[in-house]
């Protein structure tokens, strides 16, 4: 196995905060959603798997045993990061595998519903096509933690897609209505002029 | 639950309009030929659109003839004949109509339903023989829907899923000349279209359902029932409108994105009109009252 620190672009012995930051950025970079219609999709998925494995290996190392062991137990006691965080990490993993059922199960078993909880739940709903629920979840996450750019981006993306569609409807229908109004005014004006009046000077 | 999927006429080209009518009349006649004259009364826009959409993905040539009609025997109108997609839509119509009456009977919504159910049972059986697996799957989704309704499901999105799955089943015509990837897109489009229809229908029925004490997912999603069992809608109506607007527009935008990835060989004008304008205008019409675009309602 490749050195997990190298996979994340870090030096051996980087702090846990650095690992988390690097991991988050890489996941964002290689997320399948970014490559929806892209020939690089498979490559990105492969890369994401490597990143996940590396992150898991490092976290497992922190969690106790120092070998890169995949079977980590949550209740090992001497974890250096909180329980919630390890659960969220499992949820992200399940989402990357597209195992929505597992991801939802973990979230449903959590009592503490933070901004991140809503953000992740929003993603599950989104992938299920439950767009209304997803929208509510993302909005909740942004309300609870307004400074988090990731949450804001998820909400913005949805609002943007909706806006583009709506703009297109207006472009296809309103333009003509404008022309029609102008034409009507012009026609009225012409009629009036025939009869000696003038509604609008400029015509 | 039907009648929402139609084009926005003011933005339609005359030639598209003629083709649309030809499919509509073609389906009506096909239903009559296959399932008897009374069945023609059950014709609806959704199934017309099914034939137009599937036909658009295929290379088959359409055969348009001018014919008179019982409704208007003197004026000849364009009609599409011998089209496999129209025949398929007629079969699906027989299944959906029958199940709708059964569903209504279970809800206790209409007393006439028991009578109609008997009337249409024969037609259903005929179609059932041709599409047994499909009919069984649709039945299963309907049962899921009934269970969600009985369990007073408190999520509009969730309660829309069985109907979305029904539409997915209906749109899955097996003999199209497209690859597996495209089939997935067709399924997804159908799924989202089903979501759109169900949610819009629930929104449209909300006031009546409150009045008649029927189940409606919006009542439970927005906790509209207070301690005394009374339902107060006005305080939340704005919130419901905003949310529904977002949900439906986003659903339509997803459909359009998927559609752009499919290669239609014909009917693209009608399909574009319906997905890009018609469906949006239809729910705006319902939300803002009938008068916002009167031309849309009549055909």
Q: Which percentage of chain B shows pLDDT scores above 90?
A: 62
Lowest-confidence pick of B102-111, B164-173, B211-220: B102-111
Which residue reads 């040539």 in tokens? B61
Quote the pLDDT of residue B112: 66
Of B157, B158, B246, the CB nearest to A162: B246
pLDDT interval class at A60 (50, 70, 90): low
Distance of alpha carbon B6 from alpha carbon B49, whole angstroms = 8
pLDDT interval class at B264 (50, 70, 90): very high
Q: Indicate the domain borders of chain A.
A: 4-64, 81-175
Give the nearest chain B residue to A171 (CA atoms): B277
Quote the pLDDT of residue B113: 66
Whether the per-residue pLDDT at B156 is higher than 60: the answer is yes
Distance of alpha carbon A121 from alpha carbon A91, whole angstroms = 9
Lowest-confidence pick of B91-100, B113-122, B202-211, B243-252: B113-122
Q: Do B253 and A161 touch (CB under 8 A)?
A: yes
pLDDT digits (tens, 9 = 90+) for A156-180: 999 999 999 999 999 998 765 555 5
Residue B283: burial class (beta carbons within 10 Å; 0-12, 13-18, 19+): buried
Distance of alpha carbon B58 from alpha carbon B176, whole angstroms = 6
Quote the pLDDT of residue A13: 75
Instruction: Give the Å distances, CA to CA, from B169 to A129, B237, B243.
Output: 17, 33, 28
Q: Choose between B103 and B260: higher pLDDT.
A: B260
pLDDT digits (tens, 9 = 90+) for B37-96: 888 888 888 999 999 999 999 988 888 888 888 777 778 888 998 899 999 999 999 998
Q: Do A129 and B281 touch (CB under 8 A)?
A: no
* Residue B258 sits at the chain A interface (C-beta within 8 Å): no
* Residue B280 sits at the chain A interface (C-beta within 8 Å): yes
Mean pLDDT across chain B: 88
3-state secondary structure chain B: CCCCCCCCHHHCCHHHHHHHHHHHHHHHHHHHHHHCHHHHHHCCHHHHHHHHHHHHCCCCCCEEEEEEECCEEEEEEEEEECCHHHHHHHHHHHHHHHHHHHHHHHHCCCCHHHHHHHHHHHHHHHHHHHCHHHHHHHHHHHHHHHHHHHCCCCCHHHHHHHHHHHHHHHHCCCCCCCCHHHHHHHHHHHHHHHHHHHHHHHHHHHHHHHHHCCCCHHHHHCCCECCCCCECCCCCHHHHHHHHHHHHHHHHHHHHHHHHCCCCCCCHHHHHHHHHHHHHHHHHHHHHCHHHHHHHCCC
CB B193 within 8 A of CB B255: yes
Q: Do B277 and A136 touch (CB under 8 A)?
A: no
Quote the pLDDT of residue B111: 62
Q: Do A164 and B253 touch (CB under 8 A)?
A: yes
Q: Which percentage of chain A shows pLDDT scores above 70?
A: 71
Task: Residue B62: count other Cβ atoms within 10 Å of its Cβ.
Answer: 18
Whether the per-residue pLDDT at B149 is higher than 80: the answer is yes
Count chain A–chain B contacts defined by CB atoms under 8 A: 66
What are the structure tokens assigned to B133, written together?
């697996």
Lowest-confidence pick of A15-19, A57-61, B72-76, B135-139: A57-61
pLDDT interval class at B120 (50, 70, 90): confident
Chain A residues in contact with B158 by the CB 8 A cut-off are 130, 133
pLDDT digits (tens, 9 = 90+) for A103-143: 999 999 888 889 999 999 999 999 999 999 999 999 999 99
* Residue B164 sits at the chain A interface (C-beta within 8 Å): yes
Which residue reads 């001497």 in tokens? A78
Whether the per-residue pLDDT at A192 is higher than 80: the answer is no
Distance of alpha carbon B138 from alpha carbon B114, whole angstroms = 20
B25: distance to nearest CA of chain A, Å?
28
Quote the pLDDT of residue A197: 43
Residues A12-38 as b/e (b if ≥16 CB within 10 A, e otherwise) read eeeeeeebbebbeebbeebeeeebeee
Q: Do B276 and A129 touch (CB under 8 A)?
A: no
Which residues on neighbouring strands pair with residue B67, listed in sequence order? B77
Sign of the torsion formed by the C-alpha atoms of B269, B271, B272 and B274:
positive
Q: Do A165 and B251 touch (CB under 8 A)?
A: no
Our measurement of the distance from residue B154's CA atom to the centroid of its chain's CA atoms, rounded to an integer in Å, reads 23
- Backbone region of residue A9 per phi and psi (left: phi > 0; alpha: psi in -120 to 50; beta: other values): left
pLDDT interval class at B218 (50, 70, 90): very high
Mean pLDDT of B201-226: 91
Closest CA to B193 of B289, B259, B107, B270: B259
Mean pLDDT of B143-169: 95
Quote the pLDDT of residue B17: 93
**ipTM for the whole complex:** 0.89
Interface test with B, best of A39, A166, A169 (most B CBs within 10 A): A169
* Residue B249 sits at the chain A interface (C-beta within 8 Å): yes
* Residue A124 sits at the chain B interface (C-beta within 8 Å): no
Span A4-64 CATH architecture:
Orthogonal Bundle (1.10)
Quote the pLDDT of residue A65: 41
Q: Choose between A25 and B141: higher pLDDT.
A: B141
Whether the per-residue pLDDT at A183 is higher than 70: the answer is no
Mean pLDDT of B145-169: 95
**Which of A5-14, B69-78, B161-170 shows the highest mean pLDDT?**
B161-170
pLDDT interval class at A79 (50, 70, 90): very low
* Residue A162 sits at the chain B interface (C-beta within 8 Å): yes
Chain B residues in contact with A164 by the CB 8 A cut-off are 253
Q: Do B192 and A129 touch (CB under 8 A)?
A: yes
Whether the per-residue pLDDT at B157 is higher than 90: the answer is yes
Closest CA to A91 of A123, A63, A60, A68: A123
Lowest-confidence pick of A54-68, B52-66, B82-96, B146-160: A54-68
Quote the pLDDT of residue B288: 86
Whether the per-residue pLDDT at B32 is higher than 70: the answer is yes
Whether the per-residue pLDDT at B228 is higher than 70: the answer is yes
Chain B residues in contact with A162 by the CB 8 A cut-off are 246, 249-250, 253
CATH of domain A81-175: 1.25.40.10
B11: distance to nearest CA of chain A, Å?
7
Quote the pLDDT of residue A180: 53
Angle between helices A149-194 and B279-288 (to 10 degrees): 80
* Residue B189 sits at the chain A interface (C-beta within 8 Å): no
Q: B102 CB contacts (<8 Å, ≥6 apart)?
A: B113, B117, B142
Q: Do B195 and A169 touch (CB under 8 A)?
A: no
Mean pLDDT of B207-233: 88
- Backbone region of residue B108 per phi and psi (left: phi > 0; alpha: psi in -120 to 50; beta: other values): left
């Amino acid at each position: 196995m490749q050195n997990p620190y190298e996979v994340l672009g870090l030096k051996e012995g980087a702090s846990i905060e650095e690992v988390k930051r690097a991991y988050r950025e890489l996941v964002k970079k290689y997320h399948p959603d970014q490559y929806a219609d892209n020939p690089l999709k498979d490559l990105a998925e492969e890369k994401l798997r490597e990143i996940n494995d590396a992150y898991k290996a490092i976290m497992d190392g922190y969690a106790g045993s120092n070998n890169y062991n995949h079977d980590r137990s949550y209740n090992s006691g001497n974890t250096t990061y909180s329980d919630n965080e390890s659960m969220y990490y499992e949820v992200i993993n399940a989402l990357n595998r597209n195992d929505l059922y597992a991801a939802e199960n973990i979230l449903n078993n959590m009592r503490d519903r933070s901004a991140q909880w809503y953000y992740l739940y929003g993603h599950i709903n989104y992938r299920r096509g439950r767009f209304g629920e997803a929208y509510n979840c993302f909005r909740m996450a942004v309300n609870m933690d307004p400074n988090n750019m990731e949450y804001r981006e998820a909400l913005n993306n949805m609002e943007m897609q909706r806006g583009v569609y709506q703009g297109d409807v207006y472009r296809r229908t309103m333009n003509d209505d404008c022309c029609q109004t102008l034409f009507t005014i012009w026609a009225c004006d012409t009629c009036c002029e025939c009869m000696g009046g003038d509604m609008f000077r400029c015509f | 639950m039907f009648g929402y999927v139609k084009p926005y006429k003011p933005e339609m080209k005359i030639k598209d309009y003629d083709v649309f009518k030809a499919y509509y009349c073609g389906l009506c006649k096909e239903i009559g030929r296959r399932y008897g004259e009374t069945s023609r009364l059950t014709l609806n826009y959704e199934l017309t659109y099914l034939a137009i959409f599937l036909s658009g993905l295929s290379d088959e040539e359409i055969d348009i003839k001018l014919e008179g009609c019982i409704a208007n025997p003197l004026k000849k109108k364009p009609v599409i004949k011998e089209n496999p997609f129209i025949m398929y839509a007629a079969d699906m119509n027989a299944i959906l109509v029958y199940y709708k009456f059964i569903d209504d009977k279970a809800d206790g919504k209409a007393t006439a339903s028991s009578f109609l159910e008997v009337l249409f049972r024969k037609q259903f059986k005929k179609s059932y023989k041709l599409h047994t697996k499909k009919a069984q799957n649709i039945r299963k989704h309907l049962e899921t829907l009934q269970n969600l309704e009985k369990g007073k499901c408190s999520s509009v999105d969730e309660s829309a899923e069985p109907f979305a799955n029904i539409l997915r089943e209906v749109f899955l015509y097996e003999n199209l000349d497209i690859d597996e990837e495209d089939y997935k897109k067709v399924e997804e489009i159908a799924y989202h279209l089903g979501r759109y229809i169900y949610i819009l229908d629930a929104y449209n029925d909300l006031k009546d359902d409150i009045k008649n004490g029927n189940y409606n997912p919006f009542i439970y999603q927005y906790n509209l029932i207070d301690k005394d069992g009374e339902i107060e809608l006005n305080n939340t109506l704005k919130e419901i409108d905003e949310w529904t607007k977002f949900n439906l527009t986003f659903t339509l935008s997803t459909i359009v994105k998927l559609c752009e990835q499919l290669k239609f060989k014909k009917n693209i004008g009608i399909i574009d009109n319906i997905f890009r304008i018609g469906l949006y205008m239809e729910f705006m019409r319902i939300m803002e009252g009938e008068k916002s675009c009167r031309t849309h309602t009549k055909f």
